[in-house]
Amino acid sequence: MVDVALQGGAVGTDQQVDRAKVLQRLRMSDALFRGMTRLAAIAVLIILSGIIASLVYGSWPALRTFGVSFLFDESWNPVTEKFGAIAPIYGTIMTSLIAMLIAVPVGLFIAMFLTELCPMWLRRPIGIAIELLAGIPSIIYGIWGLFVFAPFLQQYVQPFLIEAFGDIPVLSTLFAGPPYGIGVLTAGLILAIMVLPFITSISRDVFQAVPPVLKEAAYGLGCTTWEVWRYVVLPYTRVGVIGGVMLGLGRALGETMAVTFVIGNAHRISGSILAPGTTISATIANEFTEAVGDLYTSSLIALGLILFVITFIVLAIARLMLMRLNAKVGG
C-alpha cells in the first residue's frame, strides 16, 4: 500500500532506500495533516475569542464614558452624544417574549401532531414544508411583514384590539392606540412565524427519541393520545424541549432583518405594544453606517456586545440541556 500511496513516485533500483524515504515522507505528511486539522479546530475558538475581544475593544470608549448607567439609561441622542441601552434591550426582550408566547405552544402542538396523530403518508411532506419555512431568509419575512402583514394588522386587527381591551385596566395600556401597523407587536408576531419552524423541528426530533415501548405501555393502560403525550412523552423529553425552546429564543433575540423592517426604530419604552419601538439588532442595522463620531459608533458596538452576551448565555443553556438529553438517550 505504501507503493500505492507513492502514486507513481520514483521506484529506483535500490528499493530499500526508497522505501525508507517514502515512509519518512508519509510520516511527515501525516503529522502535517494532523497539525493542520488541529489548527483549524483551534481556529474556531480563535474566531469566538476574536468576536468577544473586538466587541469589547470597540465598545470600550462608550463603556468608559457612560459606565454601568449605559445599561439603564433611556436617552439616545446623537446630537448631545448621550446614549443608553435600556430602550433597545427592552424592545429585544419584549419582541422575543411575544414571539415565544405564540411560537412555543403552537410549535409543540405541531410536533405532537407530527409524531402522534398525523397519518404516515403526510408526515414527510409536512415535515419538509416546516423545514423549508425554516430555510427562508429572514429578509423575506421582513419585506413580507412590511408590505403585507403590517397594513393588515393596522386595518383589521389593531383597531379591534384597542376597542376590545379599552375598558380593561392593565390591557388597555398594553393595547393603547393609535394603530400604527408597525411596532413591537408586529415585530413579535413576525418573529413568532420565523421561530416556529425551529421549535417545531427540534421538538419533533426530540419526541421521536422517546422509546415506543413507553408510549405503547401507556396506550395499553387505556390512556388517550393527549394523556400519553402530556404524561409520558413530555416528561421524558422535558430537558430537550427546553433546549429547543432556548435555541429558538436565541434566534429571536438576535434576529435582525425581520425585525428592522417592522419595528419602527423609536428609541423609547412605551407601555403599549402597538407603539413603535426598537431592538438592539434593529438599532445597529439602522444606524451603524450613519453613525458619526467615535462615541456614537462605540455605543452601537456596546449594544452589539450586550446582545452577544445575552444570546451567548441563552444558547449555552440550550446546548447544555440538549447535551443532557442526548446523554440520557444514548446511555
Considering only residues 170-209, where is the footprint of other proteins by CB under 8 A?
193, 196-197, 200
Task: Count interface residues toward other proteins (CB under 8 A).
Answer: 94
Q: What share of the chain is helix, strand, coil (3-state, %, to 5)?
A: 80, 0, 20
Select from 153-161, 179-187, 213-221, 250-258 the region that touches other proteins (CB under 8 A).
Answer: 250-258
Quote the least distance from Cβ 192 to other proteins, whole Å.
9
Of the residues 11, 17, 20, 117, which one makes contact with other proteins according to CB under 8 A: 117
Helical spans, DSSP H, in 67-175? 86-112, 120-135, 138-144, 150-152, 158-165, 169-174
Q: Is 174 left (phi over 0), alpha (psi -120 to 50) or beta?
A: alpha
- For other proteins, the closer of residues 206 and 247 by Cβ is 247
Q: Which cell goes with 17?
A: 532506500
Site for other proteins in 135-164 (CB under 8 A): 135-144, 146-148
Residue in 87, 89, 98, 110 binding other proteins, rule: CB under 8 A: 110
| 182, 262 contact by CB (below 8 A) | yes
Q: Of residues 65-104, which lie at the interface with other proteins (CB under 8 A)?
A: none
CB 261 within 8 A of CB 142: yes
Binders of other proteins among 280-309, rule CB under 8 A? 281, 284-285, 288-289, 300-301, 304, 307-308
Please report whether residue 263 would count as binding other proteins according to CB under 8 A: no
219 binds other proteins (CB under 8 A): no
Q: 3-class DSSP state for residue 76?
A: strand
Residue count of the chain, please give it: 331
* CA atoms within 13 Å, Cβ hemisphere of 127: 17
In the complex with other proteins, the residue whose CB is nearer, 147 or 156, is 147
DSSP state of 78: T
Residue 227 binding other proteins, by CB under 8 A: yes
